[in-house]
Amino acid sequence: MLTYIAQRLATGFVTLFGVAAIVFLVLRIIPGDAAVMLTGAGAGVVSEEDLAQVRHKLGLDRSIPVQFAEWAGDLASGNFGTSLRTGNPVWTDIVRRFPYTLEIVVIAMLLAVVLGVPAGVLAARFVGTWLDRAIQAFSIFGLAAPSFWIGLLLILGLVSLFSWSAPLYWEPFWVNPLGSLSQLIWPSIAVGLRQLALITRMTRSIMLEVLGEDYIRTARAKGLPERTVVFRHGLRNGLLPVVTLVGFEFAALFGSLIITETVFSVPGLGQYVVQSILNRDYPAAQGIVLVLAAIVVVGNLVVDLLYGWLDPRTRVQGAG
Amino acid sequence: MTRRFSRSRNGLTRRKVVHGAGALAVALAAPRFAFAQTPKRGGTLKISNGGDPPDFDLHQSATYLTEFIGAPCYSTLLRIDPNDYNKLVPDLAEKYDVSDDGKTITFHLRSGVTFHNGMPFTADDVVYSLDRIRQPPAGIVSPRKGLLGNVENVAAPDPLTVVVTLKQAQPDFPFLVSNPYNVIVPKQVARPLDASGQGMKRQIVGTGPFRLKTAVDGQLYEMERNDKYFGTPAYLDKLQFFPIKGEIERAVAIQGKRIDACFFFPNESVLATLRKNPNVKELRRPTPTFVNLIPNVTRKPFDDVRVRQALSLAIDRDAFVKTVGPLAGAYYHSRGLLLPDSPYSLSEAEVKQFAGYDTAPGLGGDIAANRKKAMELLEQAGVPKDFKISMLTRADVPAFRDSSINVAAQFKTIGLDATVDIRDPGAFYALENKGDFQLVAHSVALSGALPDQILGEGYTSYGGRNYGQWKDDAIDEMFRAQSRERDQAKRKELIHQFQLSFMKTFYQINLAWVGYGVGYGTQVKGWNALPDLYANMQLDMVWLDS
Amino acid sequence: MTAAVIDPATAVTAGAPVRKTRRARLWRMVRRQPLGTFGAVVLAILAFAAVFAPWIAPFDPTAGDPAALYQPPGPVYWLGTDGFGRDILSRLIYGARISLAVGVGTSLLGVVVGAALGILSAYLGGWVDSLTQRVMDALLAFPMLLIALTMATVLGSSLHNVIIALSIPIIPRAARIARASTLVLNATTFVEAARASGCSDTRIVLRHILPNTVAPLLVIATAYLGLAVVQEAALDYLGAGIQEPASSWGLMMSGSATTLALTAPWIVIFPGIAICLAVLASNLLGDTIRDVFDPKLQRDFPG
């Protein structure tokens, strides 16, 4: 098991390095360089000499391999560089914003699993009834609706029905758990809706299949109560594909998260990365993308481990 | 626009130092304001801006996002009278004198002033700041470089006196130097930071009524009252600025009393919702902000004046104002290059002679005929049908974005295939600065409405707003001629001629003027809306009635 | 009509009865797969609207009516107007062009390129396979929108650039599936036989491997059609995609629309519904294709 983890971690690092290189290169090709962005916001014509000087001060006029080597070296020592815009170390900005993003991800996944699995089970249990159809309709909608549209509608509804307005202070979880939850529940719903729908559908179809299996019939024949049949025997095996699905969708969830944070103006990593890319804040963009990719890689690893724990058959294979 | 400083009746012949202190002395003696109520001390004013300031360096910036945050913390030599836009009152300079020939201005500074970090304020700081603006050190960028372009030299003969020598007389100079962005920064702090290229972007060290306490990107900018302020201490204990991007959200927050004020509302429907609330004061007033079509005249076919005329003819300015007005505040139109109600405005007949300007509201132009003429001009100039034009614009400001969208749609009527290239500010300025664009609809927001400010910055080749890279020495010389003219009547004629000469070049094509809305709860007192986006934002006279 | 006794249940004669059988078969399929049919029909309608937009749309989607700014749905403007006075229905119809072009183009490009990479890398094996795998993994670690955003910012925001940018996240996913399929097929006996009998590699790939990977790839393609439509809308919303005054569903919900949304919610609601419909249709169609080809695929390729 340990070798498996070690292997996966090693693969993960290689992947991350690849990610870092890609990000670094791509950002340097983007038109509109950081020097002008920093000097230009709203000003009149800026002369080339001024720009060249700013570029020189920022070290942007050196060759790309040199810049990359320097950045990689800094990374190895834990230095993510300084944000060109805020002037803070990128790491500080990331650490400050990370809790909000993490909280949204956790709440969204929790909502998706805690609501989705039972919903799928219910739909399978009462297949063909109005309840099943209602749940299916809802999950079809949840899959099709774009998360930022849901976010916009949520905001509209909250503003017009409850005179809700966006929080002025976004409270971190450890300062005020309930307050923080009440603030972040809305973006989490927008982000998690699609996952909820997917998990519901998946659970339902798996349960339907599983409930027709032989061992279920055996359990029923043995006279076990339906609940035990469904949960202990059916669900355990049904969870496997759900876990795979979660892993598959983890990266997708971050995509929704990025745009939903922008819609709700949550000061999290998603909003930060969008702004950094659009603002050509190279160090920040590189740092955050790397962190996000790392989260996805780690998340996938966790999912794979869970999968291995749930299904001993897969533990034998070590290949990614 | 009258300038109230008294002058010797004998004019230029007497070598007498004229005291420009008349109005100032009056202003010093009189109470600064007359309120029906007695202001209450204390409280925190919560304000919302439409986003984070890109940085804190006012000299290098031209966006309200930075200016609103910096203004309470900094001071200028003189400042606009909060009760009278046409007057200046002392700030760091107690009074100033103008020499007979108008070329030497002497500022007498206050004594005993300290910066927020305890350093004493002296004339050296003024010299450094003014030089920083007009001759920025390497790596520092100064949009208002041209504004102080008439300055020959700035010197500090003693710690409380600054002598500014101009290249030619410039009656408007005191107002130019009092531009809200021309704040005084401490030389000892700024100089090493400038040398390292960072500038005053990350910190605010000023002499203003408030001091920056906390700045959290994306969340909050907090200032507390400076008890060592040289003027009357502010009434408020604290200021808090919250960056809230959505206009609806800002309006809802004001109505819910979660914030007290927002001084930047472009959209009319949002102001309309505020209007319904008796506990909220809202208003929109015109500002010296104008939307101009700026073609890049170094690129074909925009080097041909017929093509530029065609662009102007294509725009139904009445429809533009009606459509973009509610979205961005572009409700106003001028007659000429200066403000809508400027005493230097051209007559209707004069304006109508310039292609396309007759479609402004009330001037009775025939847009169909204009567009037909435009197509003829394009054909004469050899522009093929469905010629592709990409209009570069900014995503985050409606006066840019929505103006461009409307203009692009109007260009289709004369057979041009126009699209809007909406970029984030970074890419927008990158391309605009490089001159890598065909056409821009730029919303030029100035502070101050003087001829020298508007014409100097917007309509000279060396001004800060010549994005289109036109060059015309004759026009530049006409500007300088009116700038140094001290006879009001002669100057008016020179300004008149300047406008006529510039407008016939169509180097820039004016579409409309923009006025911004503000909204604040009735508990906010002591704030006066001036016809200017940037003036009167020090907030030292504001108090909360709660 | 012949004089012979015809058993209607088994009649297979020329003329009218054959046509009835084909139609009957179609009808049977529709009844058995109502949702899939619904999906196909909706997509067909959208495609029709997209192709015939200039004839169907009641108004010019870019010309605004200054006298009718953000009007609610009414007799003249059926779905209302936006902040510029432009008819929303017309903009939706023209928007279908962009959304479908991007949706179809992206999923096709992504699946084709991804499948090619996956099949080739699995077939060739060795270090080619390992390297491709690593690169694909690196790409998979990115959230899809992030790649698209960065690439769109790099390439610029014309239609074909958006298609390229959005197809990039799909490539590794399609590659993975094609690769898995190829690995399985490579080990089958008939491929071994084909190789033994001297068939060239190209022939084997084209004749044996490719046709058998089509089914899961088709499922992926329809699934990602919907996703591409959503991602495209997201890109437009963020300002990195298609630009004004073109009508794109995502674009219709951004900019001034967000400020007017409280007083004029229809501006934001209708484009979202259009996106939902398109995604819904493609998902349903994809599900049906999957069910028709191989119900077992649902377990292996969820979503």
Distances (CA, A) of A299 to A199, A249, A294: 17, 10, 8
Q: What is the pLDDT of residue A27?
A: 65
Q: What is the pLDDT of residue C129?
A: 84
Q: Which residues pair with B80 in a beta bridge?
A: B88
Q: What is the mean pLDDT of residues B266-278?
A: 93
Whether residue B62 has pLDDT greater than 80:
no
Chain A residues with CB under 8 Å of B423 CB are 32
What is the residue type of C195? R
pLDDT in tens, B319-328: 999 999 999 9
Whether residue B366 has pLDDT greater than 80:
yes
pLDDT bracket for residue A48 (50, 70, 90): low
Whether residue B143 has pLDDT greater than 70:
yes
Cβ contact A50–B201 (<8 Å): no
The CA R_g of chain C, rounded to the nearest whole Å, is 24
Chain C residues with CB under 8 Å of A277 CB are 146, 149-150, 153
Q: How many contacts does B have with C, using Cβ atoms within 8 A? A: 81
Q: What is the pLDDT of residue A316?
A: 44
Q: What is the mean pLDDT of residues A312-318?
A: 51
How many whole angstroms separate alpha carbon B136 and alpha carbon C36? 67
pLDDT bracket for residue C1 (50, 70, 90): very low
Cβ contact B419–C69 (<8 Å): no
**CA of C83 vs chain B CAs: smallest distance (Å):** 7
Q: What is the mean pLDDT of residues C244-269?
A: 89
Higher pLDDT, B6 or A273: A273
Name the closest residue on chain C to residue B251, using Cα atoms: C259
Q: What is the mean pLDDT of residues C195-212?
A: 74
Cβ contact C280–A251 (<8 Å): no
Whether residue C33 has pLDDT greater than 80:
no
Selected for mutation to probe chain B from C262, C266, C267, C268 (highest B CB count within 10 Å) is C262
pLDDT bracket for residue B45 (50, 70, 90): very high
How many whole angstroms separate alpha carbon A312 and alpha carbon A303? 14
Cβ contact A30–C153 (<8 Å): yes
Cβ contact B465–A168 (<8 Å): no
Name the closest residue on chain A to residue B431, using Cα atoms: A32
* % pLDDT > 70, chain C: 87
Instruction: Evaluate whether B259 touches B495 at the Cβ level (below 8 Å).
Output: no
Selected for mutation to probe chain C from A149, A253, A281 (highest C CB count within 10 Å) is A149
Selected for mutation to probe chain A from B433, B453, B462, B508 (highest A CB count within 10 Å) is B433
Would you say the pTM of this structure is higher than 0.90? no
User: Mean pLDDT over all residues of chain C?
Assistant: 81
pLDDT in tens, A130-165: 998 899 889 888 888 888 999 999 988 998 888 787
pLDDT in tens, C64-75: 898 999 999 999
**CA of A269 vs chain B CAs: smallest distance (Å):** 11
pLDDT in tens, B478-508: 999 998 888 899 999 999 999 999 999 999 9
Selected for mutation to probe chain C from B265, B416, B422, B437 (highest C CB count within 10 Å) is B422
Cβ contact A152–C261 (<8 Å): yes
Helices A236-264, A282-310: axis angle to 10 degrees equals 160
CA-based nearest residue to B149, from B400, B452, B511? B452
Whether residue A119 has pLDDT greater than 70:
yes
A296's CB contacts (< 8 A; 6+ apart) are A250, A251, A254, C141, C142, C143
Q: What is the pLDDT of residue A38?
A: 53
Q: What is the pLDDT of residue C158?
A: 77
User: Mean pLDDT over all residues of chain B?
Assistant: 88
Cβ of residue A248 closer than 8 Å to a chain C Cβ: yes
Highest mean pLDDT among A79-83, B145-149, C278-282: C278-282
Cβ contact A32–B220 (<8 Å): no
CA-based nearest residue to C88, from C281, C273, C282? C273
Q: Which of C258, C276, C303 sits opposite A145 (nearest CB)?
A: C276
Cβ contact A22–C279 (<8 Å): no
Q: What is the pLDDT of residue C238?
A: 82
Whether residue B372 has pLDDT greater than 90:
yes
Q: How many contacts does A have with B, using Cβ atoms within 8 A? A: 144
Chain B residues with CB under 8 Å of C84 CB are 323, 327, 402, 405-406, 409
Q: What is the pLDDT of residue C14?
A: 46
CA angle B73, B76, B81 (to 5 degrees): 100
Choice among A63-72, B128-137, C157-166 with the minimum mean pLDDT: A63-72
Name the closest residue on chain A to residue C229, using Cα atoms: A146
**CA of C220 vs chain B CAs: smallest distance (Å):** 33
Cβ contact C239–B422 (<8 Å): yes
Cβ of residue C38 closer than 8 Å to a chain A Cβ: no
Q: What is the pLDDT of residue A223?
A: 75
Name the closest residue on chain C to residue A160, using Cα atoms: C262
Selected for mutation to probe chain C from B406, B412, B436 (highest C CB count within 10 Å) is B406
**CA of A56 vs chain C CAs: smallest distance (Å):** 23
Q: What is the pLDDT of residue C127?
A: 84
Q: Which residues pair with B388 in a beta bridge?
A: B417
Q: What is the pLDDT of residue B521?
A: 94
pLDDT in tens, A204-254: 887 877 777 766 677 777 777 766 666 666 666 666 666 667 766 777 788
pLDDT bracket for residue B430 (50, 70, 90): low
Query: What is the dihedral sign for C-alpha A42, A48, A51, A53?
Result: negative
Task: Tell me how long chain A is.
Answer: 320
**Torsion-angle region of C70 (φ positive above 0: left; ψ -120 to 50: alpha; else: beta):** left
pLDDT in tens, B432-457: 767 789 999 999 888 888 899 899 87
**CA of B426 vs chain C CAs: smallest distance (Å):** 11
Domains and CATH numbers, chain C: 51-61+74-300 (1.10.3720.10)
How many whole angstroms separate alpha carbon A244 and alpha carbon A237? 12
Whether residue B526 has pLDDT greater than 70:
yes
> C residues 188-227 near A, CB within 8 Å?
226
